[in-house]
Amino acid sequence: MDLTKNEEDYLKALFMLSVEAGTELVGTNHIASGLGLAPASANSMLKKLTDKTLVHYEKHGKWVLTDEGKRIALQLIRKHRLWETFLYEKLEFTWDEVHEVAEQLEHIHSKKLVEKLDKFLGHPEFDPHGDPIPNEKGKYKAVRKLTLSEVPPGAVCKLIAVKDTSAAFLQYVSEIGLGIRSQIKLVDRRDFDNSISIEVDGRQVQVSEKFAINVFVVVV
């Protein structure tokens, strides 16, 4: 009845990769590398999940979640994001620390726990990274996460995550005076190279389009 941690992780990976790729079908190697495993391992696990009718095999090496498989994946994502919200909001974890622990907590089996946690948190719709939290039925709000490069002049937004997590980039981000939850006002954008002027703590800063593409924000 209840799936193992590993089975659950495969279903979640398949869901995430298919959303990311914009197609239902995902190849064996793609799933394997997403989980950091050998293709042979993924192949045999996916065959097992096919027997359990959680995954469907399509032509040569392509896999799709069944409705039931998708339902389970969405519940897992729900749990993951609720736990991230809990760690961030209630236990003073920073946004970059929550994921690793949520990766473990998402596998706790207790329907009551999930529903009570959701209630305790006030039924949040987005996790600390700005990703939507599916409800009990698996439905969720459209993503409101943007990169800084998409924000219109005049808008005020808040930094919620970075795409590039290299030390060099993070160093640059903090030099500018930015961090998680920083308020950013987009002053204007130059058509010439799409570089932008932003206002941070009352100071005005110039950043390139490349920089702006690597910063995720929500408009406040």
Partner DNA sequence: TATAAAAGTTAGTTTAGACTAACAAATTTA
Partner DNA sequence: TAAATTTGTTAGTCTAAACTAACTTTTATA
H helical segments located in the chain:
5-21, 28-35, 39-51, 67-89, 98-105, 111-120, 167-175, 209-213
Q: Which residue in 53, 120, 123, 193 binds its own copies (CB under 8 A)?
A: 120
- Minimum separation from the CB atom of position 217 to DNA (A): 33
Residues 84-143 close enough to bind Mn ion by CB under 5 A? 99, 103
**CB-count exposure of residue 78 (10 Å: 0-12, 13-18, 19+):** buried
* Partner from DNA, its own copies, Mn ion, none binding residue 4, C-beta < 5-8 Å depending on class: DNA
Give 136-185 as a DSSP string: TTS--PPP--EEGGGPPTT-EEEEEEES---HHHHHHHHHTT--TT-EEE
**Per CB under 7 A, 27 contacts DNA:** yes
Binding mask 28-67 for its own copies (x = CB under 8 A): ----------------------------------------
Closer residue to DNA, CB minimum distance, 107 or 145 = 107
Binding mask 39-58 for DNA (x = CB under 7 A): xxx-xxx-xx--------x-
Reading the block at residue 74, the tokens are: 């969405």
Binding mask 93-112 for its own copies (x = CB under 8 A): x---x--xx--xx--xxx-x
For residue 64, give every residue at least 6 positions away whose Cβ sits within 8 Å of its Cβ, in sequence order, or none.
18, 24, 25, 26, 55, 56, 58
Coil, strand or helix: which one is 43? Answer: helix
Closer residue to Mn ion, CB minimum distance, 102 or 196 = 102
**Per CB under 7 A, 7 contacts DNA:** yes
For helices 98-105 and 67-89, give the axis angle rounded to 10 degrees.
Answer: 130
Closer residue to DNA, CB minimum distance, 62 or 145 = 62
Name the one range near its own copies by CB under 8 A: 90-98, 175-183, 196-204, 209-217: 90-98
Closer residue to Mn ion, CB minimum distance, 9 or 118 = 9
Report the interface residues with Mn ion, using CB under 5 A: 9, 99, 103
